[in-house]
Amino acid sequence: MRDTSVEKNLIDHPNLIVLSPYMDSYCERGLTNLLAGKRRFPASAIETYAREVYARVDELEAALVSLRLACRFVTELGSELNPSPTIYRYHYENFVLRVIGMVDRAHRLVGASLLLAPEKYQGMGGNSFVQKATKTDHPGLFRAIKAIADVVSGYRGPRNELIHSSAYSSRELGTFMGVEQLNLDTGAIDINELKRDYSAAGAAEIEQTIKNLVEALTVLMDELGPVFSDAHKLESKKGVDLDSTHS
């Protein structure tokens, strides 16, 4: 089976090409100074901007990798002779906890891209701040981040339960775990086949959610294209930011 967990969808988006030379120069200067034992080095405003945008895109990409890994592990359970419901719950919980975080990361990418105040979009109520900043002036971005939130909205309730009260469960999962814990004889019922079917259904759900997320995130990157182009034009208007730090 092809390993799709490390696929890149966002960092290779064509709209980032306009910023890539500045990210390259930032990294080259950073490495040179690091080799010289220096952690602080001058960077132009556009280089600093490119670094921040790429960092936010990378956060989204890393989250997608984690989601795909969860999907792969659940998929593999569907072909095991005796799938463990405990292991299924672990990976499904991991997926649920991480998938909601995509919304926050998407808002932070927009905040960084629009040069909004970091203390506003990264702090408490940051998502609402970004939404207010985009609703009128950047309606395409507003719709894009709302679409991302819509993709994962069904997981918000289970995620809150995981954080505040209980482990993930379902009628089927509870039955499987009860059979194992009580060592019940299921007679002619092939409990392992039922567990494989359940794992396969879970994997299909996760896979579809990831697909929908990638599509929504790609639309977001599409909408950010003009923003990146406008930032490119600021190069000649901005000075040198001596406060940039590579650590």
Residue span of the structural domain in which 56 resides: 26-31+38-241
How many Å apart are CA 199 and CA 193, to the nearest integer?
10
Write down the pLDDT at residue 166.
67
Q: How far is CA 58 from the centre of its chain?
A: 9
Tokens 């994962």 correspond to 152
Domain assignment present for residue 9? The answer is no
Sequential pLDDT tens for the chain (247 residues): 455 555 667 999 999 999 999 998 888 887 877 777 777 777 888 999 999 999 999 999 999 999 999 999 999 998 888 888 889 888 998 999 999 999 999 999 999 999 999 999 998 899 999 999 999 999 999 999 999 999 999 999 888 887 776 666 666 776 767 767 667 676 777 888 888 998 999 999 999 999 999 999 999 999 999 999 987 766 645 543 433 444 3
Reduced to 3 states (helix: H, G, I; strand: E, B; else coil), residue 9 is coil
Other Cβ atoms closer than 10 A to 164: 7
How many Å apart are CA 152 and CA 209, to the nearest integer?
8
How many Å apart are CA 18 and CA 230, to the nearest integer?
10
Give helix 139-152 / helix 191-233 axis angle, nearest 10°: 170
Strand spans (E) along 30-86: 43-44
Domain assignment present for residue 170? The answer is yes
How many Å apart are CA 57 and CA 52, to the nearest integer?
9
CA dihedral 63, 71, 223, 8 (to 10 degrees): 70
Phi, psi angle pair for 40, to nearest 5°: -105, 140
Contact 116, 145 (CB under 8 A): no
Domain assignment present for residue 2? The answer is no
Domain assignment present for residue 16? The answer is no
Tokens 């405003």 correspond to 45
Domain assignment present for residue 199? The answer is yes
Q: How many domains, the chain?
A: 1
- ∠ Cα 53 93 150 (to 5°): 50
Domain assignment present for residue 156? The answer is yes
Write down the pLDDT at residue 165.
66
How many Å apart are CA 180 and CA 182, to the nearest integer?
6
How many Å apart are CA 77 and CA 55, to the nearest integer?
34
Domain assignment present for residue 5? The answer is no
Domain assignment present for residue 4? The answer is no
Instruction: Please state the pTM of the whole predicted model.
Output: 0.85
CA dihedral 51, 52, 57, 62 (to 10 degrees): 90
